[in-house]
Structure 1
Amino acid sequence: MHNDRGSIKWTSMMLPEHVSAIQKMWKEDTYQPPPSLDEQELELLNENLEKAIDEELKVKIIRYSNGKYSSYEGSVERYEAIKKELIIRNSSQSFNLPLHQIVDIRI
């Protein structure tokens, strides 16, 4: 069985500019465009958030930041109105999530 190292084996024969261009291309390849939420989606997010806070339910929050999506699970501890962020706590840690980065809230 042949073990191929892919493009890594060619980097020693390439100029540093070419290597950085390829790395930039790989980074751009994984970039995901920011979502655009309409009024109905924002209203649904708001309803789910209110329900989760009132009933102290566990939620799964999807966040978009720097071209990537990430998810957090736990319960909403509180909402910081001045900072405009949610404090989410799970069994091991807590997260501060800015509201403008939240894409979806699932109960």
Structure 2
Amino acid sequence: MDVVIKDRGNIKWTAIMLPEHVAAVKQEIINLEKVNQPILDEDRLTEIEMLIHEAMEYNLQLEFKSFKEGYIESIIGQTQCIDYIKKEFRIKDKDDLIHNLPFQKIVDVQKV
């Protein structure tokens, strides 16, 4: 006589945990993926500024990396405007959407 054991794997362990514990574990995994905002030195800020002005003059596409709530996001597009009053860039992406990107959230800019 053969005995078949049906193992439910992880299902049996999550059934033991309270929903609050499952939510806390998921939130902790999300928090582990977060990073602190990088701080740019004056030389790198000058390079970024020159690159943005060059790209505006020659209509080049740039990849802007910005810090948002613990994550680094990337936007590829052309700089439409530099608003010195609001301290933000207006970037037009390939879908013609306009993104307002604050100066202080920029962590890197590169040519595409």
TM-score interval, smaller chain? 0.7 to 0.9
Match of 1:28 in 2: 31
* TM-score for both structures, normalised by structure 2: 0.80
Number of positions where the alignment pairs a residue of Structure 1 with one of Structure 2: 103
Counting aligned pairs with the same residue, the percent is 31
Matches within 5 A, 1:1-107: 10-92=13-95, 93-107=97-111
* TM-score for both structures, normalised by structure 1: 0.83
Structure 1 residue 76: deviation in Å?
0.5
| Unaligned 5+ runs, structure 2 | 1-7
Report runs of 4+ in structure 1 exceeding 4 Å deviation.
Answer: none
Q: Which has the larger radius of gyration?
A: 2
| Unaligned 5+ runs, structure 1 | none
Tell me the SS of whatever aligns to 1:48. Answer: helix
| Alpha-carbon distance between aligned partners in 2 of 1:26 and 1:91, rounded to the nearest angstrom | 33
